Amino acid sequence: MLFAIAIFALVMGLVLAVVDRPNLPKWVPVSGYLGPSLVLITFGLLYPGLLTIKNSFFDENGAQFVGLNNYVRIFTDGQFLTVLRNTFFWVALVPTVATALGLVYAVLVDRTRFEKLAKTLIFLPMAISMVGASIIWKFMYEYKPAGTNQIGLLNQFLVWIGLPPQQWLLTPPLNTFMLIVVMIWIQAGFAMTVLSAAIKAIPDEIIEAAKVDGVSGMRLFWWVTVPSVRPAIIVVLTTIAMGTLKAFDVVYTMTGGNFDSSVIANEFYSQSFVQNQPNIGNALAVLLFIIIMPIIVYNVRQMRISEGER
């Protein structure tokens, strides 16, 4: 690590020494500043990405070309179909519910006397690591046999109301939805922060004009507030969707991907480094990239449209 830092410092020192010289062609300073970044992107992103795509068409030893066999296996094997199903549930529920909760939080919290405190508490899950949040919720879901003391808050509540404790993380597909709850809890604070800022940026003239026309309450919310913050809602939805597609920490920490709870990111790790099937892992990584790319392109287009409107 220290060697890499020393090399980086040396290269940047040489670059600065060269570009500060007078009477240099314009392309020299530009190349000096962009060159190190392009080298890092090439060897840290492009080359590994192309190598991953290439290896996804070979067997586990990387010696025999197998064409689309790895991809066919992903879409036909029952284990991987479960992974794809779980990923669909994650992407469908987490962005939608987290954004909806964030919008509700933003509207309600802005009207309270303790706005700063409330926003801090709601945003707090984003301030801790995914692993930390997962450990907290794993304790909440903890299961002990009936008749013994429950240390999990959720099962203790069931015992208090006369119901038997449940194995929340061991029973599919229930465990997938319990993991989704954790991700929603984490992301709702992010959604609230962005949408609250967007709501406060709505010009007062628009709100006053709507009130003069007799619009108030829920009609004001649906007809004025929501359309006004639509660009922010789209940004939040797509950002959370991209984060959800890459969800690994929550699944790995709470279930390890066992009991039919795995998603693409976790299965990529498992196939590549645990089950010694790097060919399947590479194919899953490529599939994840293909799914995420349209979201990224859409986000970039929306940002350009927003900048053009300004």
Q: Do residues 17 and 104 both lie within one domain?
A: no
Average pLDDT over residues 256-273: 93
> Could you report the per-residue pLDDT of 149-170, keeping only the tens digit for each?
888 999 999 999 999 999 999 9
Q: How confident is residue 17, by pLDDT bands cut at 50, 70 and 90?
A: low
Q: Do residues 6 and 116 both lie within one domain?
A: no
* Phi (first) and psi of residue 58, to 5 degrees: -120, 170
User: Is residue 227, in this structure, part of any structural domain at all?
Assistant: yes
Q: What's the pLDDT score for residue 21? A: 64
Average pLDDT over residues 62-83: 93
Q: Do residues 106 and 45 both lie within one domain?
A: no
Q: How confident is residue 14, by pLDDT bands cut at 50, 70 and 90?
A: low
Q: How many domains does the chain have?
A: 2
Q: What is the dihedral of CA 180, 303, 44, 285, to 10 degrees?
A: 40
Query: Is the pLDDT assigned to residue 36 strictly greater than 80?
Result: no
Q: What's the pLDDT score for residue 301? A: 83
Which of 55, 70, 90 is the last residue in one of the domains?
55
Residue 115 domain boundaries: 78-131+185-309
User: Is residue 209, in this structure, part of any structural domain at all?
Assistant: yes
Residues 6+ apart with CB under 8 A from 235: 194, 299, 302
Query: Is the pLDDT assigned to residue 302 strictly greater than 80?
Result: no
Beta bridge partners of 65: 58
Average pLDDT over residues 134-141: 94
Specify whether the CB–CB gap between 187 and 91 falls below 8 A: no
Q: Do residues 190 and 117 both lie within one domain?
A: yes
Distance (Å, rounded) from C-alpha 25 to C-alpha 132? 52
Distance (Å, rounded) from C-alpha 234 to C-alpha 226? 11
Q: Do residues 196 and 95 both lie within one domain?
A: yes
Q: Do residues 119 and 264 both lie within one domain?
A: yes
Query: Is the pLDDT assigned to residue 18 strictly greater than 70?
Result: no
Q: How confident is residue 218, by pLDDT bands cut at 50, 70 and 90?
A: confident
Question: What's the token pair of residue 140?
Answer: 């909440």
Specify whether the CB–CB gap between 245 and 288 falls below 8 A: yes
- Among the listed residues 68, 94, 132, 123, the one whose alpha carbon sits nearest the alpha carbon of residue 287: 68
Specify the pTM. 0.85
User: Is residue 127, in this structure, part of any structural domain at all?
Assistant: yes
Q: Do residues 121 and 234 both lie within one domain?
A: yes
Query: Is the pLDDT assigned to residue 230 strictly greater than 80?
Result: yes
Buried-exposed string 214-225: b where 16+ CB fall within 10 A, e elsewhere: ebeeeeeeeebb
Average pLDDT over residues 64-89: 94
Average pLDDT over residues 3-16: 67
Distance (Å, rounded) from C-alpha 78 to C-alpha 68? 18
Higher pLDDT, 230 or 111: 230
Distance (Å, rounded) from C-alpha 250 to C-alpha 142? 15
* CB neighbourhood size of 247 (10 A): 23
Q: How confident is residue 20, by pLDDT bands cut at 50, 70 and 90?
A: low
- Among the listed residues 73, 129, 154, the one whose alpha carbon sits nearest the alpha carbon of residue 248: 129
Q: Do residues 196 and 51 both lie within one domain?
A: no
Q: Do residues 16 and 112 both lie within one domain?
A: no
Residues 6+ apart with CB under 8 A from 49: 289
Average pLDDT, rounded, for the chain: 87
| DSSP 8-class letter at 152 | S
Average pLDDT over residues 224-232: 89
Q: Do residues 262 and 206 both lie within one domain?
A: yes
Q: Do residues 82 and 46 both lie within one domain?
A: no
User: Is residue 165, in this structure, part of any structural domain at all?
Assistant: no
User: Is residue 39, in this structure, part of any structural domain at all?
Assistant: yes
Q: Do residues 89 and 30 both lie within one domain?
A: no
CATH assignment of the domain containing 124: 1.10.3720.10
Specify whether the CB–CB gap between 238 and 300 falls below 8 A: no
Specify whether the CB–CB gap between 253 and 138 falls below 8 A: yes
